[in-house]
Structure 1
Amino acid sequence: MSLTLLASTQRLHLPDADELSLSAVHSAAEDRGQNFSLDQIVGLGAPQVRAVLVEDDTLLGFGIYPGDRLIVDRSIKPVQDQYVVAHLNGDNEYCVRLLAADPKGGLLLKAARPSVPSVAFDDLDPAPIWGVVLWVVSYVGRG
């Protein structure tokens, strides 16, 4: 198994894991003379890209946890099998849904919880879609 360390917009190829050490990673990154910018990689700073904080556990069925940050692009046309941020039924709140195929034809906005009913999505009227989720940024450390 090998790893690829990302530095800015370039990839830095590392040796196989059995040959990998922290000093090798640090040295290889320094040799590139690049600073890693998560903002640049995920597109933050672009006017159409937003970061959204997940505040509860309603997205656990999608593998998205409280405290995760979603990077959402408001300029992308949603397509099947993408997560989208939607504004449904005139609620003041936004939600994340999976744009999935409807067995009867068309598309559905599916919730992470099976107990929440799906909503038919008319791709001719994308009004309820606020943006398309491109990235999920999770904190896995302690403290």
Structure 2
Amino acid sequence: MSLTFLTGSERSQPLPARFLEQGDGDCASPASEPIGNGFSLDRTLGLGAPQIHGLLVDDDNLLGFGIYPGDRLIVDRSATPVVDQYLVVRPRGAAEYSLRLLAPDPRGGLLLKAARPSIPSMALDDPDSIEIWGVVLWVVSYVGRKQP
């Protein structure tokens, strides 16, 4: 599986205050629009916070999780993992990170399951054997049609 860690220059910056205020001086605001602080994708996803990082999914190895090539994973490096969350992990000594689902082991303990059934699960019985890089909080997918 291939994940690309998005560089600092591709990380979102905090929104300028003018976008957080009601309306924009350059745009007409229809009377039927709701009044409030508006919707901020950056604020919703936590982008700009030092512990929040974006990863790009480069291939189709995560289709079993419903995650597609080109999707962006929003990962929190400070979150405590819980069962049924996706984790970005790397076994000690491995070169690449992978995405796994934290699941209960029917025999007790915890497993890290891969999206493909042909890839064996990893037992999480020795926390020092696996680096947990972060917890996936959001999967952002582009569903529109690209303009030529």
User: TM-score, normalized by length of structure 1?
Assistant: 0.75
Aligned with 1:83 (options 86, 111, 125) = 86
State whether structure 2 residue 42 is matched by structure 1 residue 39.
yes
After the TM superposition, which residues 18-97 of structure 1 pair with which residues of structure 2 at under 5 Å, given as runs? Answer: 27-29=32-34, 31-32=35-36, 34-97=37-100
Aligned CA RMSD, in angstroms, stands at: 2.1
SS at match of 1:41: helix
Distance 2:45 2:31 in 1: 22
Distance 1:86 1:26 in 2: 49
Equivalent pair of 2:89/2:132 in contact (CA under 8 Å) = yes
Distance 2:58 2:69 in 1: 5
1:112 aligned residue: 115
Following superposition, the deviation at residue 139 of structure 1 comes to: 0.2
Select the structure that is richer in strand: 1
The runs of 5 or more residues in structure 2 that have no matched partner are 1-19, 21-29
1:140 aligned residue: 143
Amino acid at match of 2:142: Y
Aligned with 1:102 (options 105, 119, 140) = 105
Higher RCO structure (Cα 8 Å, ≥6 apart): 2
Following superposition, the deviation at residue 124 of structure 1 comes to: 5.2
In structure 2, relative to structure 1, the CA distance for the partners of 1:27 and 1:98 (3 Å cut) is same
Length, aligned pairs only: 118
User: TM-score, normalized by length of structure 2?
Assistant: 0.72
Distance 1:88 1:125 in 2: 9
The runs of 5 or more residues in structure 1 that have no matched partner are 1-7, 9-24
SS at match of 2:91: coil
Following superposition, the deviation at residue 127 of structure 1 comes to: 4.8
Distance 1:80 1:104 in 2: 15
Please give the per-residue CA displacement for 1:101-138, whole angstroms capped at 9, x wherever unaligned. 11110000000000000000137548521000000000
